[in-house]
Amino acid sequence: MSRGIPYINGLVILNDVETGLPLSVMDGVWMTGMRTGAATALSARHLARSDSSTVGVLGCGIQGRTNLEALTVLFPIKTVKAYDTTAAASRAYADEMGPRLDITVEVVENPRQAVSGCDIVVTAGPLLKKPHATIQAGWLEKGAFASLVDFDSYWHPDAMGEVAKFCTDDTEQILHYKTLGYFEQIPPIHADLGELVAGQKAGRETRTEITMTANLGLAIDDMAVAPLIYKQAKARGIGTLLPL
Protein backbone atom coordinates (compact mmCIF):
# COMPACT_ATOMS: atom_id res chain seq x y z
CA MET A 1 0.00 0.00 0.00
CA SER A 2 2.92 2.33 0.71
CA ARG A 3 3.91 1.86 -2.94
CA GLY A 4 0.52 2.98 -4.17
CA ILE A 5 -0.68 -0.49 -5.21
CA PRO A 6 -3.72 -2.37 -3.85
CA TYR A 7 -3.42 -4.44 -0.67
CA ILE A 8 -4.99 -7.32 -2.62
CA ASN A 9 -3.79 -8.03 -6.15
CA GLY A 10 -3.81 -10.88 -8.61
CA LEU A 11 -4.81 -12.26 -11.99
CA VAL A 12 -7.35 -14.94 -12.85
CA ILE A 13 -6.71 -17.11 -15.91
CA LEU A 14 -9.81 -18.90 -17.21
CA ASN A 15 -8.93 -22.05 -19.12
CA ASP A 16 -11.03 -24.03 -21.59
CA VAL A 17 -12.31 -27.16 -19.83
CA GLU A 18 -11.82 -29.28 -22.97
CA THR A 19 -8.40 -28.16 -24.20
CA GLY A 20 -6.83 -26.62 -21.09
CA LEU A 21 -5.86 -23.57 -23.13
CA PRO A 22 -6.44 -20.08 -21.64
CA LEU A 23 -9.61 -18.30 -22.72
CA SER A 24 -9.24 -15.10 -20.72
CA VAL A 25 -6.96 -13.23 -18.33
CA MET A 26 -8.93 -11.22 -15.77
CA ASP A 27 -8.27 -8.73 -13.00
CA GLY A 28 -8.25 -10.70 -9.75
CA VAL A 29 -8.70 -7.62 -7.56
CA TRP A 30 -12.25 -6.90 -8.73
CA MET A 31 -13.22 -10.57 -8.77
CA THR A 32 -11.86 -11.22 -5.27
CA GLY A 33 -13.73 -8.22 -3.94
CA MET A 34 -17.03 -9.16 -5.56
CA ARG A 35 -17.04 -12.85 -4.69
CA THR A 36 -15.97 -12.13 -1.11
CA GLY A 37 -18.81 -9.65 -0.74
CA ALA A 38 -21.19 -12.22 -2.19
CA ALA A 39 -20.01 -14.82 0.35
CA THR A 40 -20.70 -12.37 3.19
CA ALA A 41 -24.18 -11.64 1.86
CA LEU A 42 -24.97 -15.33 1.39
CA SER A 43 -23.82 -16.05 4.94
CA ALA A 44 -25.90 -13.14 6.19
CA ARG A 45 -28.98 -14.54 4.42
CA HIS A 46 -28.78 -17.50 6.81
CA LEU A 47 -27.26 -15.85 9.89
CA ALA A 48 -28.48 -12.23 10.02
CA ARG A 49 -31.97 -10.91 10.79
CA SER A 50 -33.90 -10.40 7.55
CA ASP A 51 -34.83 -6.84 8.55
CA SER A 52 -31.23 -5.77 9.21
CA SER A 53 -30.92 -2.12 8.21
CA THR A 54 -27.74 -0.77 9.87
CA VAL A 55 -24.26 -1.90 8.89
CA GLY A 56 -20.95 -1.12 10.55
CA VAL A 57 -17.92 -1.26 8.24
CA LEU A 58 -14.41 -1.24 9.71
CA GLY A 59 -11.91 -0.92 6.90
CA CYS A 60 -12.99 1.27 3.99
CA GLY A 61 -11.09 -0.31 1.14
CA ILE A 62 -12.16 -2.64 -1.66
CA GLN A 63 -13.69 -5.24 0.65
CA GLY A 64 -15.54 -2.61 2.65
CA ARG A 65 -17.14 -1.48 -0.61
CA THR A 66 -18.01 -4.84 -2.18
CA ASN A 67 -19.31 -6.35 1.06
CA LEU A 68 -21.67 -3.42 1.56
CA GLU A 69 -22.79 -3.52 -2.08
CA ALA A 70 -23.65 -7.22 -1.78
CA LEU A 71 -25.51 -6.75 1.50
CA THR A 72 -27.73 -4.05 0.00
CA VAL A 73 -28.96 -6.60 -2.55
CA LEU A 74 -30.45 -8.85 0.15
CA PHE A 75 -31.21 -6.51 3.05
CA PRO A 76 -33.06 -3.19 3.50
CA ILE A 77 -29.88 -1.31 4.40
CA LYS A 78 -30.53 2.33 5.28
CA THR A 79 -27.56 3.42 7.40
CA VAL A 80 -23.85 2.61 7.40
CA LYS A 81 -21.31 3.54 10.07
CA ALA A 82 -17.89 3.70 8.43
CA TYR A 83 -14.55 3.59 10.26
CA ASP A 84 -11.01 3.43 8.92
CA THR A 85 -7.66 4.01 10.60
CA THR A 86 -7.08 6.60 7.87
CA ALA A 87 -9.69 9.34 8.19
CA ALA A 88 -9.41 10.33 4.54
CA ALA A 89 -10.28 6.76 3.50
CA SER A 90 -13.50 6.72 5.52
CA ARG A 91 -14.51 10.14 4.17
CA ALA A 92 -13.87 9.03 0.58
CA TYR A 93 -15.87 5.88 1.29
CA ALA A 94 -18.85 7.88 2.56
CA ASP A 95 -18.70 10.29 -0.39
CA GLU A 96 -18.72 7.39 -2.86
CA MET A 97 -20.94 4.73 -1.32
CA GLY A 98 -23.71 6.96 -0.01
CA PRO A 99 -24.77 8.36 -3.39
CA ARG A 100 -24.00 5.15 -5.28
CA LEU A 101 -26.26 2.98 -3.09
CA ASP A 102 -28.66 5.74 -2.04
CA ILE A 103 -28.08 5.17 1.67
CA THR A 104 -26.80 7.24 4.57
CA VAL A 105 -23.10 6.68 5.31
CA GLU A 106 -21.90 8.18 8.57
CA VAL A 107 -18.17 8.52 9.24
CA VAL A 108 -17.43 7.55 12.85
CA GLU A 109 -14.36 8.38 14.91
CA ASN A 110 -13.60 5.07 16.60
CA PRO A 111 -14.21 1.33 16.15
CA ARG A 112 -16.79 1.04 18.92
CA GLN A 113 -19.05 3.53 17.16
CA ALA A 114 -18.91 1.31 14.05
CA VAL A 115 -19.98 -1.76 16.02
CA SER A 116 -22.48 -0.65 18.65
CA GLY A 117 -26.04 -0.26 17.42
CA CYS A 118 -25.44 -2.19 14.18
CA ASP A 119 -27.40 -5.17 12.87
CA ILE A 120 -24.49 -6.30 10.70
CA VAL A 121 -20.77 -5.65 11.23
CA VAL A 122 -18.07 -6.20 8.60
CA THR A 123 -14.42 -6.00 9.58
CA ALA A 124 -12.23 -5.60 6.50
CA GLY A 125 -8.84 -4.43 7.72
CA PRO A 126 -5.44 -6.04 7.02
CA LEU A 127 -4.97 -9.75 7.81
CA LEU A 128 -2.85 -10.28 10.90
CA LYS A 129 -1.48 -13.47 12.46
CA LYS A 130 -1.55 -11.76 15.85
CA PRO A 131 -4.89 -9.91 16.15
CA HIS A 132 -4.91 -6.36 17.45
CA ALA A 133 -8.20 -7.43 19.11
CA THR A 134 -9.78 -3.97 19.14
CA ILE A 135 -13.42 -5.08 19.30
CA GLN A 136 -14.27 -5.97 22.88
CA ALA A 137 -16.96 -8.05 24.56
CA GLY A 138 -20.21 -6.16 24.97
CA TRP A 139 -19.85 -4.06 21.81
CA LEU A 140 -22.02 -6.23 19.55
CA GLU A 141 -25.75 -5.83 19.93
CA LYS A 142 -27.97 -8.78 20.75
CA GLY A 143 -29.11 -10.27 17.46
CA ALA A 144 -26.18 -8.88 15.46
CA PHE A 145 -24.31 -10.71 12.72
CA ALA A 146 -20.61 -10.15 12.01
CA SER A 147 -18.51 -11.06 8.98
CA LEU A 148 -14.79 -11.34 9.64
CA VAL A 149 -13.29 -10.55 6.23
CA ASP A 150 -9.95 -9.79 7.91
CA PHE A 151 -9.81 -13.16 9.73
CA ASP A 152 -10.02 -12.49 13.48
CA SER A 153 -7.67 -9.50 13.33
CA TYR A 154 -10.16 -6.99 14.78
CA TRP A 155 -11.67 -9.27 17.41
CA HIS A 156 -10.86 -9.89 21.05
CA PRO A 157 -11.46 -13.55 21.97
CA ASP A 158 -14.02 -12.49 24.59
CA ALA A 159 -16.05 -10.69 21.91
CA MET A 160 -16.04 -13.78 19.68
CA GLY A 161 -16.96 -15.85 22.72
CA GLU A 162 -20.32 -14.07 22.88
CA VAL A 163 -21.56 -15.60 19.62
CA ALA A 164 -24.15 -18.36 19.56
CA LYS A 165 -22.98 -19.65 16.16
CA PHE A 166 -19.51 -19.23 14.64
CA CYS A 167 -19.36 -20.29 10.99
CA THR A 168 -16.95 -20.33 8.06
CA ASP A 169 -17.00 -21.08 4.36
CA ASP A 170 -14.79 -24.16 4.69
CA THR A 171 -14.08 -25.89 7.98
CA GLU A 172 -11.00 -27.77 6.80
CA GLN A 173 -9.43 -24.57 5.51
CA ILE A 174 -9.89 -22.64 8.75
CA LEU A 175 -8.50 -25.59 10.71
CA HIS A 176 -5.47 -25.57 8.40
CA TYR A 177 -4.96 -21.87 9.07
CA LYS A 178 -5.03 -22.64 12.79
CA THR A 179 -1.97 -24.85 12.29
CA LEU A 180 -0.24 -21.81 10.75
CA GLY A 181 -0.88 -19.66 13.81
CA TYR A 182 -4.13 -17.91 12.81
CA PHE A 183 -7.50 -18.20 14.55
CA GLU A 184 -5.93 -19.41 17.77
CA GLN A 185 -8.81 -18.35 20.05
CA ILE A 186 -11.96 -18.67 17.95
CA PRO A 187 -15.12 -20.36 19.25
CA PRO A 188 -16.09 -23.88 18.18
CA ILE A 189 -17.20 -24.00 14.54
CA HIS A 190 -20.96 -24.47 14.19
CA ALA A 191 -21.17 -24.98 10.42
CA ASP A 192 -19.66 -24.12 7.10
CA LEU A 193 -21.51 -22.12 4.46
CA GLY A 194 -22.37 -25.16 2.36
CA GLU A 195 -24.07 -26.81 5.33
CA LEU A 196 -26.11 -23.68 5.99
CA VAL A 197 -27.21 -23.33 2.38
CA ALA A 198 -28.09 -27.03 2.09
CA GLY A 199 -30.07 -26.91 5.33
CA GLN A 200 -27.84 -29.50 6.98
CA LYS A 201 -27.10 -27.14 9.87
CA ALA A 202 -29.36 -24.47 11.36
CA GLY A 203 -28.68 -20.81 10.70
CA ARG A 204 -30.20 -18.08 12.85
CA GLU A 205 -32.90 -19.49 15.13
CA THR A 206 -33.78 -16.50 17.33
CA ARG A 207 -33.77 -12.71 16.94
CA THR A 208 -31.41 -12.25 19.86
CA GLU A 209 -28.59 -14.68 19.16
CA ILE A 210 -25.29 -13.21 17.98
CA THR A 211 -23.88 -14.92 14.89
CA MET A 212 -20.55 -14.68 13.10
CA THR A 213 -18.75 -16.00 10.04
CA ALA A 214 -15.12 -15.98 8.95
CA ASN A 215 -15.07 -16.72 5.21
CA LEU A 216 -11.53 -17.29 3.98
CA GLY A 217 -12.28 -17.53 0.28
CA LEU A 218 -12.58 -20.58 -1.94
CA ALA A 219 -11.23 -21.18 -5.43
CA ILE A 220 -14.65 -22.53 -6.39
CA ASP A 221 -15.99 -18.98 -5.95
CA ASP A 222 -13.64 -17.75 -8.68
CA MET A 223 -14.50 -20.78 -10.84
CA ALA A 224 -18.18 -19.83 -10.59
CA VAL A 225 -17.70 -16.13 -11.32
CA ALA A 226 -15.03 -16.20 -14.04
CA PRO A 227 -17.11 -17.99 -16.73
CA LEU A 228 -19.98 -15.55 -16.15
CA ILE A 229 -17.67 -12.57 -16.65
CA TYR A 230 -16.16 -14.16 -19.77
CA LYS A 231 -19.58 -14.80 -21.33
CA GLN A 232 -20.79 -11.27 -20.61
CA ALA A 233 -17.58 -9.73 -21.95
CA LYS A 234 -17.92 -11.74 -25.18
CA ALA A 235 -21.58 -10.78 -25.55
CA ARG A 236 -20.80 -7.09 -25.07
CA GLY A 237 -17.65 -7.02 -27.14
CA ILE A 238 -15.56 -5.97 -24.14
CA GLY A 239 -11.89 -6.85 -23.75
CA THR A 240 -8.65 -7.01 -25.74
CA LEU A 241 -7.68 -9.95 -27.94
CA LEU A 242 -4.18 -11.14 -27.02
CA PRO A 243 -1.95 -13.08 -29.45
CA LEU A 244 -0.69 -16.42 -28.10
pLDDT class of 7 with cuts at 50, 70, 90: low
Position 30 scores a pLDDT of 82
Label residue 237 left, alpha or beta by phi (over 0 means left) and psi (-120 to 50 means alpha). Answer: left
pLDDT average, residue stretch 187-204: 97
Position 173 scores a pLDDT of 95
Q: What is the pTM of this model?
A: 0.90
Position 8 scores a pLDDT of 66
**Residue 3 covered by a domain:** no
On whether the CB atoms of residues 152 and 128 are closer than 8 A, the answer is no
In percent, how much of the chain has pLDDT > 70?
97
CA distance 177 to 40: 19
Amino acid at 147: S
Position 136 scores a pLDDT of 98
22-54 per-position pLDDT tens digit: 999 988 888 888 889 999 999 999 999 999 999
Tally of structural domains, the chain: 1
**Residue 5 covered by a domain:** no
121-169 per-position pLDDT tens digit: 999 999 999 999 999 999 999 999 999 999 999 999 999 999 999 999 9
**Residue 99 covered by a domain:** yes
pLDDT class of 2 with cuts at 50, 70, 90: low
pLDDT average, residue stretch 177-184: 94
36's CB contacts (< 8 A; 6+ apart) are 63, 66, 67, 149, 215, 217, 221
pLDDT average, residue stretch 64-84: 98
- Domain with 106 in it: what CATH number? 3.40.50.720
Position 224 scores a pLDDT of 84
**Residue 97 covered by a domain:** yes
Tell me the Cα Rg of the chain: 18
DSSP 27-87: EHHHHHHHHHHHHHHHHHHHHS-TT--EEEEE--SHHHHHHHHHHHHHS---EEEEE-SSH
Enclosing domain of residue 42: 11-236
In percent, how much of the chain has pLDDT > 90?
82
pLDDT at 4 over 80: no
97-109 per-position pLDDT tens digit: 999 999 999 999 9
Question: How high does pLDDT run on average in the chain?
Answer: 94
pLDDT average, residue stretch 68-82: 98
Q: Is 152 exposed, middle or buried (0-12, 13-18, 19+ CB in 10 A)?
A: buried
Position 5 scores a pLDDT of 66
Position 189 scores a pLDDT of 98
**Residue 211 covered by a domain:** yes
Position 34 scores a pLDDT of 87
In the chain, the largest separation of any two C-alpha atoms, in whole Å, equals 58
